[in-house]
Structure 1
């Protein structure tokens, strides 16, 4: 039987690329969108899901199980970007980011684990970010929410192994998607102590996203994980220097690594 895959955030960007690639490989794939009726020409079956709403999450999980009898793979892909000086990011936006990037994936795992435990098998893939391995200037909240999901994955992976369930995470670097248009940018405030330097960083971040890797690289990587009998704890997908930055953080003194980052971001 074809594996049944649920991927959150499957209407655009990485989620769409991954979902369509897996479907072409013969898997049965369900994507999600907060408003699936507004998505034009989707190749995936789209279900309504707001990862910030536990009722919406439970309904989505129940619907896939009702239609297919099981869920073999959950890909927690839905997420939002956020930038700004920490001092100037509104608290409601910080909470929204954690609700989407961290608490949403946690709630989805909690909702799908009983079914996976019952079927004595299952795979959960959490899409995090290379930014989650380090505190980046003006991306503090994004780094924190994705970094927290990395650690949650490490923990729950050990808790669920005895039930035949595998949990892993994939950390992408910069990919050429429309995430920049959907990211929350704290407004550049005229006269702010951060005005000039933050505007320069905003330009740099958008430039990197627009010149990022092809999302198909993520699709290929995730397909290999699904086909692996023993997925690793961590996977990184992206440009060499982005992945190498994680190695540097591990081996360099903190202040040296901080100086490298500050030089890179011209701070």
Structure 2
């Protein structure tokens, strides 16, 4: 008789911050497709309906448990709200216990400002969400992480952490801090979970779509030299004339959210058990070494 196929993350409980849109939504989809039960965090009221629809679709499509939780990552009460939601979800899974298997620190904010115009308020806003938020969430989840090295923590970093892009003193600094925390956590949590960062470059999301023409022009040389950002053949032919003009102006294409999610999902599987403390490049070759 054929045996039951066990998906690589079947029965696991995963938290995805910012899990209802952009890269976060793609990660939620990827983890669900691998059998994980997913807690989708969102921040604003305007994201509630979109996140709920996604959660319901993933539950129906993949036969998993999902829940959504509104919390502003970086606020002092947010981590507890998210962890409590994960524990409620875990209680619905037979024989699972109070365990949180996977944490994806995806939620983030960005703004580009020249050095002379950076304000304390903007500095605090970005560091609060991009650095303090992941720290508080992992702290809150510590009692519930696995004790057999099967846990997975993945932090969404950026090529901005290493490339010194103009006007990214603050944003680049937050992502460099996140990479530093990744390495420290990989050592401190070595008996509990692997901890890795993933560093996308430009990705086709609302966040990157909102950047200025001037910023995209400055990014052009980086995009042109990234081997996987070139668009040719059938991929080029499938584009509209408007899209082709945009690609020519930008020097190539952005990554797609599902391409980033695929790397994140791989790091959450047993196949990645020997990878920790790493910054894994998922940027089309924009960054090839760290």
Q: Same fold (TM over 0.5)?
A: yes
Say if 2:87 is the partner of 1:77.
no
- Quote how far apart the aligned CAs of 1:209 are: 11
More helix by share: 1
- 1:137-176 to structure 2, matched below 5 A, reads 137-161=166-190, 163-176=191-204
- Quote how far apart the aligned CAs of 1:202 are: 6.1
Give SS of 2:11's match: coil
Q: Distance in 1 between matches of 2:16 and 2:48?
A: 18
Say if 2:54 is the partner of 1:43.
yes
- Quote how far apart the aligned CAs of 1:216 are: 0.9
1:181–1:212 distance in 2 versus 1, CA, 3 Å:
closer
1:214–1:180 distance in 2 versus 1, CA, 3 Å:
closer
Tell me the TM-score normalised to structure 2 length.
Answer: 0.72
Q: Deviations over 1:209-252 (max 9, x none)?
A: 99411111111111111112222422010122x113xx3xx6xx
Give ranges in structure 2 of 5+ residues lacking alignment: 1-9, 56-66, 91-97, 221-248
Say if 2:74 is the partner of 1:32.
no
Select the residue among 271, 278, 281 that pairs with 1:236. 281
- Quote how far apart the aligned CAs of 1:62 are: 1.7
Q: Distance in 2 between matches of 1:213 and 1:201?
A: 17
Give SS of 1:42's match: helix
Give SS of 2:268's match: helix
- Quote how far apart the aligned CAs of 1:121 are: 4.4
RMSD between aligned alpha carbons? 2.5
Q: Deviations over 1:18-44 (max 9, x none)?
A: 111221232111111113673336322
- Quote how far apart the aligned CAs of 1:148 are: 0.8
Select the residue among 23, 29, 54 that pairs with 2:32. 23
Partner of 2:143: 114
Q: Distance in 2 between matches of 1:176 and 1:123?
A: 26
Q: Distance in 2 between matches of 1:38 and 1:164?
A: 32
- Quote how far apart the aligned CAs of 1:201 are: 3.1
Give SS of 1:39's match: helix
1:89–1:181 distance in 2 versus 1, CA, 3 Å:
farther
**Count of residue pairs the alignment pairs up:** 230
- Quote how far apart the aligned CAs of 1:87 are: 1.1
Partner of 1:200: 214
Give SS of 2:77's match: helix
Q: Distance in 2 between matches of 1:176 and 1:64?
A: 29
Tell me the TM-score normalised to structure 1 length.
Answer: 0.77
Partner of 1:136: 165
